[in-house]
Structure 1
């Protein structure tokens, strides 16, 4: 297993090279797709990439899918259940690319990752677990023998991803809590997050995450302001610069989420 630690515009990528096939978990953002492809090609050499897995379909985790599918025509792509129809019809609103103002080239899928099943990656069977919260359809993967967890955006060393269902008027905080409880019950020794370095101190990470969750539950507006900042920072990482007029237009037209929109231009957001 090889982890390509990327940054915040692109998710981390995890490459497995096994005796019968190779597999990649998550493909990063579309503007980094050539870099993703180069990393994979350098690691595989003449070997082909056989399987592509997305933990969830936010643009920073699947934006490189299309380039990988072009380079490896026999590549099979698996996604979590729940958005397969949206991918097949390429509904960019349901997939959140239009509402967040983020890009993702169209890609195809072959099957879904059903929670409760296992998947051969490398020479080990990995458990697939539902991980609602940050994204209602997200999954995490766990290998019990080595106690390695691919936690996606459900748990980072210093928190977790924006809880998008809350911004859409749905309950997401309970999902975060249940997923953190699940991760605690799995008791992984090594955690490979969607962003940031691999880490081992599960207890410390859970303490940080639960403290942050409690603060967001106590003040949903605080979470909405945090989300607005995250979306803006993501856009600035993509574009590098934009005028204030462009920022205002982008905020009005692309941020889906009335709670999030209300934070653009607020004193808390500007800070």
Structure 2
């Protein structure tokens, strides 16, 4: 049996932290403008800040690939300590005006501590991170403001949730429209054409073969386009598993009322032409059957590897209750 290929070598001027769920992987770029790309989940904000401080001393800038809770969780803490926050323009504008839908936090029931955006990023913009220049590449699909970061000299590509070595980002057909999967596929094709030497994904390991990783991702993304119902189910499974991770599981007798109270589930039920109660029951049954969730001592848990979260860290307000953004 031939050995598995090794991941491509990383430049010495960056530090990569592969993290289990519920955190996204974190990229640290020390130098004249110490920067982080994505900051993990709010329940581990102290850990993220301590890691950055140990490796870089200070963080001047945080750049977010998008605004989901596993990517922006330490934004507020790092901003309080002096870091500026940069994000894709559509999401930056919504955060500035304190749109209740910010980060899809309330919609997904995924807590995010209040932060502001200091720098709105547009397609083609050059952003100094550490001691290197990176190009902003808009990659909408997983979210409307999703972006990638391209470092052409080293051919490094930060892809956020656009793809990983085993997956593609789920799409929200209810919130973002029935063409969201087509948009995500077009974004994938665009960044594949860059021909990166290294893909830096938000989840999982660095792919050993970027070309092969893109080939698989493109096939998976095409399936989401071809099968909208499948795309809805895919998103529902991912969101539910994340809910179990950040809550240390949910008692089995409380799962159905929890699910049917979630807007993401009622939206999915509408798209699938199902009653919310029927979707909730089928979601639990199919995920138990597949092994993606497990029942232990009367509680349902996500089966995927993940780090525990202290319950009190989840007690942050939904964006509708965030204080007004103050100019910086």
Match of 2:241 among 223, 233, 236: 233
TM-score (structure 2 length as normaliser): 0.76
What is residue 18 of structure 2 aligned with on the other side? 5
CA contact (8 A) 2:127 2:135 kept: yes
Which whole-Å CA distance do the structure 2 matches of 1:13 and 1:75 have between them? 16
Partner of 1:162: 170
Distance 1:97 1:243 in 2: 22
Task: Point out 4+ residue stretches in structure 1 off by more than 6 angstroms.
Answer: none
Note the residue ranges of structure 1 that are not aligned, 5 or more in a row.
none
| Cα pair 1:225 1:269 within 8 Å, conserved | no
The answer to whether the aligner puts 1:265 opposite 2:281 as a matched pair is: yes
- Partner deviation per Cα, 1:206-229 (whole Å, 9 max, x = no partner): 222122223223322222112111
Unaligned runs of 5+ in 2: 1-13, 270-275, 290-328
Count of residues in Structure 1 that have an aligned counterpart in Structure 2: 266
Q: Who is 1:69 aligned against? A: 79
Q: Equivalents in 1 of 2:233, 2:160: separation in Å?
A: 22
Counterpart mapping for 1:125-136 below 5 A: 125-136=133-144
1:216 matches 2:229: no
**Structure 2 residue 48 is the aligned partner of structure 1 residue 48:** no
Larger radius of gyration: 2
CA drift at 1:9: 0.8
Q: 2:214 aligns with which of 194, 201, 206?
A: 206
Indicate if the aligned counterparts of 2:42 and 2:74 stay in contact, CA closer than 8 A: yes
Partner SS for 1:256: helix
2:6: which partner in 1? none
Shift of 1:240: 1.2
Q: Deviations over 1:45-77 (max 9, x none)?
A: xx321111111101110011111122x2x3111
Q: What's 1:176 paired with?
A: 184
Aligned to 1:85: 93
Task: Indicate conservation of the 8 Å contact 2:159/2:201, yes or no.
Answer: yes
Deviates more, 1:9-18 or 1:259-268: 259-268
Deviates more, 1:254-263 or 1:119-128: 254-263
Q: Structure 1 residues 268, 259: CA separation in 2 closer, same or farther (over 3 Å shift)?
A: farther
Range that drifts further, 175-184 or 133-142: 175-184
Match of 1:14 among 12, 20, 27: 27
Contact 1:135–1:165, Cα closer than 8 Å, also in 2:
no
Distance 1:264 1:257, change over 3 A: closer
Q: Distance in 2 between matches of 1:107 and 1:14?
A: 20
Q: Which region of structure 1 is more displaced relative to structure 2, 158-167 or 21-30? A: 158-167
Q: Does 1 or 2 have the higher relative contact order (CA < 8 Å, sep 6+)? A: 2
Q: Helix, strand or coil: the match of 1:141?
A: strand
Check whether the contact 1:119–1:128 (CA below 8 A) recurs between aligned residues: yes
| Contact residue 136 and residue 165 of structure 1 kept, 8 A | no
TM-score (norm 1): 0.91
* CA distance, structure 1, for counterparts of residue 175 and residue 94 of structure 2: 20
- Cα pair 1:130 1:139 within 8 Å, conserved: yes
Distance 1:270 1:59 in 2: 25
Deviates further, 152-161 or 92-101: 92-101
Q: Name whichever of 214-223 and 261-270 sits farther off.
A: 261-270
Q: CA deviation at 1:269?
A: 5.0
Contact 2:165–2:207, Cα closer than 8 Å, also in 1: yes
